[in-house]
Chain A
Amino acid sequence: MDADRIDDGLLSAWLDDELDPAQRAHVEQWLREHPEDAERVRQWGADRDALRAHFDPVLNEPVPASMQRRLLTRPLSQRPWARAAAVLLLVGGGAVLGAGAMWRWQDLLPGPLAQSPRQWVHRAAVAHAVYAPEQRHPVEVGANEEHLVRWLTKRTELPVKLFDLQAQGFNLVGGRLLPDASGPSAQLMYEDGEKHRVTVYLRKPEAGTPAAFRFEHQGGLNLFYWVESGCGYALVGDLPRDKLLALAMEIHRQQTTQAGTGG
């Protein structure tokens, strides 16, 4: 019996990302040297993806009326007048309501219990993790290239707009197309003076996706996402939540302001 053999429990734990770095390196070395085990692990991964693909759509089903009734409270997002009232309470009646006040209410919904992120939100996080660390090719088309907006708008059929985040210290690096469930999505990348990067993922939302502003924390990244004028946005970054929120609010402010200013 090969004493160094890696047992299936360890291979399985590797697939679930449960190993410490030393164990992980050991298993990865083993998999490189043992293609038949690598194939088995690959099949477990395929089974995992198939299970997720089958059950994830349940998340998007409407909550049965009986359950809603049982909890007696309709979610505030279904009662716009109640949401406005809640915001007034927060801001302190009489204050002028800006976009900031609206987000502050939504921000109260605790992260892990907010409606589960759609698969595209996860995709936005993955896309950030993949491209943000890139040194040579962080984007496909740079900000200096005039056709960036035209190209992304045409391919995604979304109203792509280059937000100006210079006041927050972020400059546009450029953008790229990414494959998505129903056609390409767009990713814009911004960078500050210290090379911290945030990305904005734009895609076509499914019919009935709520516009509600939501926060997620995934894999070490913070994420705000919302729908505005028929386009889904996810702002992703390794920034503290309040700084990312400030960026998200600025983006939304520019989205909802009538006068579109150039960058």
Chain B
Amino acid sequence: MDAPDNFKRLLLAAIPRLRRYARSLVFDGPRADDLVQSTLERALTRWQQFDERRDLLLWLLSIAHNAHQDGLRRDARLSMLEPERMEQELDRQAGAAQPPDIGLRLDLLAALRTLTPELREPLLLVVVEQLSYAEAAQVLRIPPGTVMSRISRARLLLRRVLGDGKPPSRSHLRRVV
């Protein structure tokens, strides 16, 4: 039985948010839209499983997350590279499709691409999609404490890659002669 019009209309309203999340995950515009299409397809086939008391957007984001994971695993199987390197390779290729950007923003996006999905996803869900830790935990099916520590690590890694050049503040100051 096809999903009711009302449900489809709700999906339509959620598309801008899904597109933003997908774009932040895979960078490449067309690939991001492919991810959103997959998400919509899955949502349409599972509409009867959706409990209306739940938050639809969180449900959709978790479908998108799983679809993205499945895509990465599938691509990994097609190649001899181990999954982690494949992820980085995919990210690098996705990044290459971007037009040149200016100044700091390019550095930040390049830095973002160096993060593995495990670190990137909670960061993006909380920072860009503005979910709470509890909501991000729901979407990713990990404990909120893990969300917190991954975001913290992601932030540190981003800063390190962006190369402040400053050592961690807790070390004693060294006099440079």
Query: What A residues does B164 contact at CB under 8 A?
Result: 43
8 cross-chain CB contacts under 8 A:
A12-B148, A39-B169, A51-B108, A53-B105, A56-B128, A58-B23, A76-B9, A113-B10
The SS class assigned to the B binding surface is helix
Q: Are A50 and B20 in contact (CB under 8 A)?
A: no
A13 to chain B, nearest CB (A): 5
**Those of B1-38 within 8 Å (CB) of chain A:** 5, 8-17, 19-20, 23-24, 33, 36-37
Chain B residues in the interface with A (C-beta under 8 A): 5, 8-17, 19-20, 23-24, 33, 36-37, 40-41, 55-57, 104-105, 108-109, 112, 124, 126-128, 132-133, 148-149, 151-152, 155-156, 158-159, 162, 164, 169-170
In the complex the two chains form, what is the Cα distance from A73 to B112 in whole Å?
Answer: 36
The 8 A CB mask of A185-215 against B (1 = contact, 0 = none) is: 0000000000000000000000000000000
Q: A55-B20, A56-B20, A67-B40 are in contact. Are A112 and B159 (CB under 8 A)?
A: no
A interface, size bucket? 35 or more
The SS class assigned to the A binding surface is helix
Q: A51-B112, A58-B23, A59-B17 are in contact. Are A13 and B40 (CB under 8 A)?
A: no
In the complex the two chains form, what is the Cα distance from A69 to B143 in whole Å?
Answer: 37
Q: Are B133 and A58 in contact (CB under 8 A)?
A: no
Q: Are A67 and B159 in contact (CB under 8 A)?
A: no
B23 to chain A, nearest CB (A): 5
Q: Whose C-beta in chain A lies nearest to the C-beta of B112? A: A51
In the complex the two chains form, what is the Cα distance from A59 to B57 in whole Å?
Answer: 14
Query: What B residues does A113 contact at CB under 8 A?
Result: 10, 13-14, 56-57
Q: Are A63 and B16 in contact (CB under 8 A)?
A: yes
Q: A9-B149, A67-B40, A113-B57 are in contact. Are A51 and B128 (CB under 8 A)?
A: yes
Q: A47-B108, A47-B158, A59-B17 are in contact. Are A18 and B133 (CB under 8 A)?
A: yes
